[in-house]
Chain A
Amino acid sequence: MKELLDLFFTFFRIGAVTFGGGYAMLPILQREVVEKKKWASDEELVDYFAIGQCTPGVIAVNTATFIGRKYRGVVGGVVATLGVVSPSVVIISVIAALINNFANIGWVQDALGGIRVCVCVFILNAVIKLIKSAVKDKATLVLYLVLFAVAVLFDVSPIYSVVISGVLGVLITKLGVRGK
Chain B
Amino acid sequence: MILLRLFWEFFKTGLFAVGGGMATVPFLQDISAKTGWYTSGQLADMIAVSESTPGPLGVNMATYVGYTVGSQQLGGVGMGVVGAIVSTLGLIFPSIVVILIIGYFLKRFRDSKIVDSALYGLRPASVALISAAGVDIVLFAILRVDSIYQIGKASLSWKAAVLALAVFAGTNLVPRLKKIHPIWFIFFSAVAGILLHMG
Contact = CB atoms under 8 A, between A and B. Distances in A.
> Size range of the interface on B?
35 or more
A167 B117 CA distance: 9
A55 B18 contact: yes
B141 A134 contact: no
Interface in A75-130: 77-78, 81, 84-85, 87-89, 91-93, 95-97, 99-100, 103, 106-128, 130
A17 B181 CA distance: 13
B128 A110 contact: no
Interface stretch (A2-10, A31-39, A142-150): A142-150
Interface residues of A, number: 102
Interface in B1-53: 12, 14-22, 24-27, 30, 33, 41, 44-45, 47-53
Chain A interface mostly: helix
B127 A127 contact: yes
A21 B20 contact: yes
B81 interface: yes
A53 B20 contact: yes
A80 to B, nearest CB: 10
Nearest to B171: A125
A1 interface: no
B190 A114 contact: yes
A108 B182 CA distance: 20
Nearest to A97: B77
B145 interface: no
A135 B163 CA distance: 29
B18 A56 contact: yes
A143 B122 CA distance: 9
A147 B129 contact: yes
Given A58-B58, A162-B129, 13 more contacts: A15-B54, A61-B59, A77-B99, A88-B59, A116-B45, A117-B198, A118-B185, A119-B48, A120-B141, A122-B182, A161-B129, A162-B122, A170-B118
Q: What are the 4 tightest A-B residue pairs by CB atom distance, in nearest-first order? A: A169-B121, A114-B193, A57-B95, A21-B56
